[in-house]
Structure 1
Amino acid sequence: MEQHVVLHSHKVLEENSAQLESLRVEDCSASRPEDKEGILKKIGSASEIEEFNRRLQQLLLGSEGLFAGWKDAQALLLDVGAIAARAKTSFNASQSAIFEEDLVEI
Structure 2
Amino acid sequence: MNKFADMIELLGSGADDFAQLVVVDREYDVFERAWCVAELHRAYAMGIRQRVCMHMNSVLDVDANDLVVYQRLSTLTVTACRASRPEDKREILSKIPDKQEFDEQLQEVIFGSRGLLRRQLQGFGVLEAASRTAFRVARVQSFPEP
TM-score (norm 1): 0.57
1:60 is matched with: 110
Task: Judge which range, 48-57 or 11-20, deviates more.
Answer: 11-20
Per the TM alignment, residue 2 of structure 1 is displaced from its structure 2 partner at its CA by 1.2
Q: Which of structure 1's runs of 4+ aligned residues deviate more than 2 A? A: 9-15
| Matched-pair identity in % | 36
Distance 1:5 1:63, change over 3 A: same
- Tell me the distance in 2 between the aligned counterparts of 1:34 and 1:15: 29
Are 2:58 and 1:10 aligned?
yes
Aligned to 2:90: 37
CA RMSD of aligned residues (A): 1.9
- Which structure shows the higher helix fraction? 1
Structure 1: runs of 5 or more not aligned: 76-106
One-letter code of the match for 2:53? V
CA distance in 2, matches of 1:31, 1:38: 12
More strand by share: 2
1:27 aligned partner? 80
Q: Secondary structure at the match of 1:69?
A: coil
Q: Note the C-alpha offset of 1:38.
A: 0.8
